[in-house]
Amino acid sequence: MLKNLLFIALGGGIGSVLRYLCNLFINKSYPNKTYIATLFVNIIGCLVIGLLVGYFQKNQTENEAFKLLLITGFCGGFTTFSTFGLENFNLLQSQNYLLTLLYIMLSVVIGIAFVGIGIYLTK
């Protein structure tokens, strides 16, 4: 268990640092438009998690430590949106269309609402 946590922490640390560097780089080109950096990171994160999951499936890789390092750790540190994208893709693959739509709507609407509630509660 501790070994798995270390793999996740290492991958998460690398992903977080890379996200920060992407934000710095993109914000130099587009100052005061942080959403562009977030959009970029989210899209790239979705591509990376798709490539990793596809690779592991194609090669039938059962190396749990490597999956924890790259998917849970790196992708999770880089952007949790990649996990959100993968979960929705899996729901669509299982033809769970209503649940997919509900999950997307609830995540986005409640997520934004809770940001507002959190800000309100600190005032």
CB 101 within 8 A of CB 64: no
Nearest C-alpha neighbor of 8 from the set 85, 71, 87, 83: 71
Residue with tokens 């934004």: 112
CB 53 within 8 A of CB 46: no
Q: Over the range 22-40, which residues count as b (16 or more CB within 10 Å of their CB) and which as e? A: bbeebeeeeeeeeeebbeb
79 annotated ligand binder: yes
CB 114 within 8 A of CB 55: no
Q: Which residues are annotated as a binding site for Na(+)?
A: 76, 79
